[in-house]
Amino acid sequence: MASSADDKPYVPDSLPGATVVTAEETIELILAKPDLVVIDARKKTEYMKGHIEGAHNILNTTLTLADLEAVSPHKTTPLLIYCNGIRCQRSSDAISKAVKWGYSEIFWFRGGWKEWLEKRLPAVTK
């Protein structure tokens, strides 16, 4: 069966300066790296409907260096950034900014919230 335009990702397979991770690898990182800072780059309304526990909500379009430094003052602190998934460009935009600002350990949960929900992983709502 041929894939439709709706199945095609809007984002690349990888990004310079970031390591792509799956939902399972995201959980492993959260457990293995207590200093990991998780950033949800979606809109606040989306974040409030559900997000990964401990995630900071910083929309990519308003993300500034000061915002990033507020949650991760050290540029060597590992960051994990996600949005809605492969049809959402918010996390890739946020990662490009973090790389430009000198953050050195960035993980990209490319499948994002869509993959998280598909795997039936725990969500926090506010």
Q: How far is CA 66 from CA 14, 74, 78, 90, 99, in A?
A: 26, 12, 17, 18, 14
| Tokens standing for residue 109 | 């949960």
Per-residue pLDDT of the chain (126 residues; tens, 9 = 90+): 444 455 666 888 889 999 999 999 999 999 999 999 999 999 999 999 999 999 999 999 999 999 999 999 999 999 999 999 988 999 999 999 999 999 999 999 999 999 999 999 999 997
Instruction: Name the fold adopted by 17-118.
Output: Oxidized Rhodanese; domain 1 (3.40.250)
The H-or-E segment that residue 37 falls in is strand 37-40
pLDDT value of residue 2: 47
Q: Is the dihedral of CA 116, 117, 118, 120 positive or negative?
A: positive
Number of alpha carbons in the 13 Å side-chain half-sphere of residue 100: 9
| Tokens standing for residue 22 | 């799956």
Instruction: Name the pTM for this structure.
Output: 0.91
